[in-house]
Amino acid sequence: MNLTIASGKGGTGKTTVAVNLAVAATREGRRVQLLDCDVEEPNCHLFLEPETERRRDALVPVPEVEEAACNGCGECAAICRYNALAVVGSSVMVFPELCHGCAGCWLVCPEQAITRGERSIGDLVEADVAGLRLAYGRLNVGEALVPPLIAQVSALRGDADLTIVDAPPGTSCSAIAALSGSDYVVLVTEPTPFGLNDLVLAADVVRQLELPCGVVINRAGAGDDRVHDWCRREGLEILLEIPDDRRVAEAYARGDLVLDAVPGAADLYRDLMRTLMARAVEGAA
């Protein structure tokens, strides 16, 4: 089962749900993989504390121009939709940070003066933690190519009973990239007007992608009933309500697993995992 944990905004407890759900499933004897696709701010590993990690550069294609072969025709710059090339006289300037690696320029060059090079946009990291396989991406500071790094983290998907993706918050193309390949989406929100506003936006995106989804309400009891009312009207299942408990925030701040720090939390996450597995079976039927 491929499960994505998403939210309309940051700070709702999305990563807490992803990590604790992954550990709960591992402790039930399932083969679990956790992919942290929040590549601008990955933090699942902070809670799992892997002792050793395998790191490599996340590479994307970029043009390399051989000036001696260039005739200055300008066809490469003309085809580039991202303004990543400029031809000045008989010289071609490349702006690598704007390049999306589409290959158009080296395919169109009549002199074969452009070849496919590579540059790093960040790190790809893999680790094994107590039976759980963890992978995450870490984008270089100032780098804009978020979706290609998310795609590379997603490509690390391996053989597992349950793959959990921690998606970036929001409804941008980055969040949509992380939803690719999902069987089911868990939307994490809070029972506040802001939480409801962002939940509506996130649910709209998930529905447009025609993915089944349910809702986890974090800090239940801290706000009002508008999220509950809206879910009822929209026919969205509330999968779990995590009580507003100071001990959850304290565990998060210490980098501890809520499962281990808060009595009763292990049962909540085990029940959530079983509910999601049941939804997967129903979806496949």
Strands 85-88, 91-94: pairing kind: antiparallel
Structure tokens at 80: 């580039």
Tracing tokens 């349910």 back to the chain, one arrives at 214
Check binding of 101 to ligand SF4 (CB under 6 A): yes
Given 3-state DSSP classes, what are the helix, strand and coil percentages for the chain, each rounded to the nearest 5? 40, 30, 35
- Listed ranges 50-58, 92-100, 171-179, 191-199: which one lies at the site for ligand SF4 (CB under 6 A): 92-100
Smaller CB distance to ligand SF4: residue 69 or 281? 69
Q: Is residue 97 a contact point for ligand SF4 (CB under 6 A)?
A: no
Under the criterion CB under 6 A, does residue 60 sit at the interface with ligand SF4?
Answer: no
- Rounded to whole angstroms, the Cα distance separating 254 from 84 reads 44
100 binding ligand SF4? (CB under 6 A): yes
Strands, E assignment, 7-131: 32-36, 54-65, 85-88, 91-94, 114-129
- Rg of the chain (C-alpha set): 22
Q: Which parts of 69-88 interact with ligand SF4 (CB under 6 A)? A: 70-76, 79-80, 82, 84-85, 87
Please report whether residue 102 would count as binding ligand SF4 according to CB under 6 A.
Answer: yes
Per-residue mark of binding to ligand SF4, 17-56 (x: CB under 6 A): ----------------------------------------
* Interface positions, 107-166, toward ligand SF4 (CB under 6 A): 109-111, 113-114
- Sole window of 5-13, 22-30, 40-48, 95-103 interacting with ligand SF4 (rule: CB under 6 A): 95-103
